[in-house]
Structure 1
Amino acid sequence: MTAETITGSVHSFDVSTGVDGPGTRFVAFLAGCPLRCQYCHSPDTWYRRSGRPTTADDLMAEIARYERFIKVARGGVTLSGGEALQQPEFVRAVFTRCHERGIHTALDTSGYLGAKAPDELLDVTDLVLLDVKAGDEETYHRVTRTGTLEPTVTFAHRLADRGIPIWIRFVLVPGLTDGDGNVEAVADIAASITSVERVEVLPFHRLGAAKYAALDLPFPLARTPAPDAGLLDRVRGRFRARGLTVY
């Protein structure tokens, strides 16, 4: 099957700076995700049917419109979700084409489906933005409402063995992921992975609440506040204490 005929389900795309990898990036959000994270701000990307059938060539045509700009801005292309690894062949095809054009590639993933990423996909992946939902199985299941932590950790070590840079992302949610034991466990995981370049502690927000309302879905964390500056500083300090670069 050629890149021209490999088809994915793409929900939307955007151009962003500083939040989806280095530089200014073309970010495509693929549709479909096996997890149902309580803090998810994009419930509109949960199902493949919510996206538009798009071939790798179709997406590359969109990327080409911004190619000069993202190269000058030392950026690249990020494939996000949903969960991008629900569509590994599509990701591989797009990243292969990006590499042929000298465009930096970043994969935004929970790692839960890491076993589905073939070596050929990782060969053309320059950076992985790895969402570590929690540091222990109990909290992981509370956060995602399905699945287990082990596939993410296994995938992270596989990436490290291949020398692929990792930026770990950890969403700090008061009353859900902020427990001392859970934070320490996430920090232990991050410190054990040799190719981790940085850890981003992301404060929970309720900006996706309107999407839940539009879909007639209950937002599980509708009454949960954002973490205050003191909590953010303390949690970031736990990661820094292990010698990690933290944002």
Structure 2
Amino acid sequence: MLNVHSFESLGTYDGPGIRLVVFLQGCAFKCLYCANPDTITFKGGTPTPNEEIMRKARNQRPFFGKTGGVTISGGEPLWQAKDLSVLFQELKDDGFNTCIDTNGNVFNDDVKNLLKNTDLVLLDIKHINPDWHKTITGKTNETTLKFAKYLKDTNTPTWLRYVLVPGYSDQEDYLHEMGQYFKDYSNIEKLEIQPYHKLGVHKYEHLGMEYKLDGVPENSSEQLTRAEEILSLYFKEIIIN
């Protein structure tokens, strides 16, 4: 049984191929730019049995092809790692590709067990600098980096994701530092630059929450190109989503 916020059918941005994306409820990060602030609280959500998720996956299997499958996102899915491990075992037994989209802020034996049946991890790196990371999320990046190291040590296929926020996560020195930090992680297949956007701002208004990046502009094409140039020095493949 998982506490689910929502489902997205036929997703194309959350791992390889076409995917069923399951968004779980609850996250300890308070990212300033979170596009789904309604998933942050651990209250709410819909308790959903594995059988329902498996039914949806089987119904959509004809669209998955050779590379598609099921991605669990959030919120932060690793808070439910113990129950997720049961679901992922069922998915693998039924031949589905499995993917976790995570910020890596939960790392314990349940997470290690879950990774045994995980084909791909989408790891959201918010910032390489711990102080800037805390400014953006409210937490340091210590656990995230430990989690990343474990992915390297277990050779778990990983795509890094990085939201490029003007004035917050686009500093060139820190982009180089991040590249230097991860350049020898042979399990990292690519890095996806996520342009900063304001598509979720209306949700803050609806929830009565303050959107703290109100005056921050979206990325210029020059900013995205410069970030791509820098990060291309360190990673096999760079994608701008």
Which range, TM-score by smaller chain?
over 0.9
Q: Which runs of 5+ in 2 are unaligned?
A: none
Alignment correspondent of 1:50: 44
Q: Distance in 1 between matches of 2:115 and 2:45?
A: 24
Match of 2:88 among 67, 91, 95: 95
Contact 1:106-1:125 within 8 A present in 2 as well: yes
The normalised TM-score by structure 1 is 0.92
The alignment partner of 2:9 has SS state of: strand
Give the alignment of 1:1-247 within 5 angstroms: 7-70=1-64, 72=65, 74-115=67-108, 117-145=110-138, 147-247=139-239
Q: Distance in 2 between matches of 1:246 and 1:200?
A: 6
Contact 1:153-1:189 within 8 A present in 2 as well: no
Identify the range of structure 1 (122-131 vs 175-184) with the bigger mean alpha-carbon deviation.
175-184
Instruction: Indicate the RMSD between aligned Cα atoms, in angstroms.
Output: 1.4
Q: Distance in 2 between matches of 1:90 and 1:11?
A: 15
The C-alpha deviation readout for 1:94-150, integer Å capped at 9, x for no partner, is 2111101110000000011133543321110000000000011111001102x2112
Shift of 1:186: 1.9
Q: Distance in 2 between matches of 1:213 and 1:184?
A: 36
Identical counterparts, % of pairs: 34
Q: Which amino acid aligns with 1:240?
A: S
Identify the range of structure 1 (123-132 vs 7-16) with the bigger mean alpha-carbon deviation.
7-16
Q: Which runs of 5+ in 1 are unaligned?
A: 1-6
Contact 1:88-1:116 within 8 A present in 2 as well: no
